Structure 1
Amino acid sequence: MPVGLIIRKQPGVTRWVKWIWRPVALIPGAGPAEWRELRRDGDVVDYHAATMNLMVFSSDTDSYRVTLSARVPSLYVVMKDAESPVNDCPWTPKLITANAYEGQGYNESGEGLVELVPMPVPMIAWLRDFVETHHVEEEFIKRRRDKKRVDLVEDGKGDIRIRQTSDVFRAPRNSSGRLN
């Protein structure tokens, strides 16, 4: 599904940050656009920065269920540092994903900017219908413990290629059997 990304530019609140750029909204089914100004209110400007494809896969329906179960269902918007800034924006849109696990992975990597943007109601319904159609519940299978006895004491033999009179991994003992 093509998704338009709205990025808002607003004045910073400190002298060190002149402008704050952040994704604020999504347009489902948007046409192509590149930094088209949508709205201006004083110094605050909303841009239709890009239209990107939201890809969903039947193998990721478990992750989409996590996304839909959030208090506010949102998509992850991943942005990277801009090589050639447009409108002085330091970010370039890289990815829009509904996969909560993928978004969390980008968030933990510390690369670029990762923001959650609330999904419009039609997108929520579209994703919910996709999950209902393609989700297959997988039965949990508990792994059984091996039958190998790990409680038996073995003094180990060390490296079999080296001749030795005793175990090289055992602590040395004197003739009375006590540790030295």
Structure 2
Amino acid sequence: MIHNPKAYRTMPLGIVLRRAPGVTRWAKWVWTASAVMPGAGEADWRVLRTEGEVTEYHAATVPLELHGADTDAYLHELSAKQPSVYVILREATEGEAPLEVLTVTASPYEAQDYSDSGEEIIEKVPMPPALYALVTNFVEEFHEEEVFIKRKRDKKRIDLVEDGVGDPRIGKLEDVYASPAQQRRRMN
């Protein structure tokens, strides 16, 4: 892992969310992250375009942070068939906006961590060419392969010790491997 304080870059990304009609009677609208805009200015649910019942909003601008310790994750994402960033959303609890944009990441591992809670919505959005170039340059500059070092076994023989044999709490040799439930039945 790299602990170089200079191994850090940030870029503001505009998050574009698309609202489309739901396909079931239980979901009136379906929300998806449809694009990211590198270098975008501040926004607060500004309508970008409307086509029929589908509307796209510049919902928010959040910083994409690249850390030197995460270059393995970025490299993994860059080698994917479609390199993407992950937009992390949560249902809004206050205000008029239906969703809150928490963050955006280029690390599939960080996105997986967010999905573990089940409270966040993770949307995968293809990287635009400018963003792909930024992440690629960052990885080329700061990534260091970790050298695999195979550990050597010591010569100590651990199979010569029989745990539990000779223990005064164990009545018979076959009780060494008995489950606690079996031992309780024998005592009763």
Which category describes the TM-score, using the shorter chain as reference length? 0.7 to 0.9
Residue 151 of structure 1: CA displacement?
2.0
Give, in whole Å, the separation in 2 of the partners of 1:86 and 1:46.
Answer: 16
Q: How many residues align?
A: 166
Give, in whole Å, the separation in 2 of the partners of 1:68 and 1:130.
Answer: 11
Percentage of pairs with the same residue: 49
Q: Which has the higher contact order (CA 8 A, sep 6+)?
A: 2
Q: Paired residue for 1:171?
A: 174
Q: Choose the corresponding residue for 2:151, options 131, 138, 143.
A: 143
TM normalised by structure 1 equals 0.84
Q: Paired residue for 1:59?
A: 69
Q: Paired residue for 2:140?
A: 132
**Counterpart residue identity of residue 174, structure 2:** A
User: 1:69 and 2:84 equivalent?
Assistant: no
User: 1:121 and 2:129 equivalent?
Assistant: yes
Residue 107 of structure 1: CA displacement?
2.2
Give, in whole Å, the separation in 1 of the partners of 2:171 and 2:85.
Answer: 58
Q: Which runs of 4+ in 1 moved over 6 A?
A: none
Instruction: Identify, as 1 or 2, the structure richer in helix.
Output: 2
Give CA-to-partner distance per residue, 1:110-159, whole Å, 9 cap, x none. 22211111110110011101100111111011233343312225253677
Q: How does 1:99-114 map to 2 (within 5 A)?
A: 99-114=107-122
SS at match of 1:151: helix
**Counterpart residue identity of residue 14, structure 1:** T
Question: Aligned in 2, Cα 1:93/1:158: closer, same or farther, shift over 3 Å?
Answer: farther
Instruction: Identify, as 1 or 2, the structure richer in strand.
Output: 2
Q: Paired residue for 2:16?
A: 6
**Counterpart residue identity of residue 147, structure 2:** E
Runs of 5+ in structure 2 lacking a partner? 1-10, 176-185
User: 1:94 and 2:102 equivalent?
Assistant: yes
SS at match of 2:90: strand
TM normalised by structure 2 equals 0.80
Runs of 5+ in structure 1 lacking a partner? 173-179
The structure number with the bigger radius of gyration is: 1
SS at match of 1:115: strand
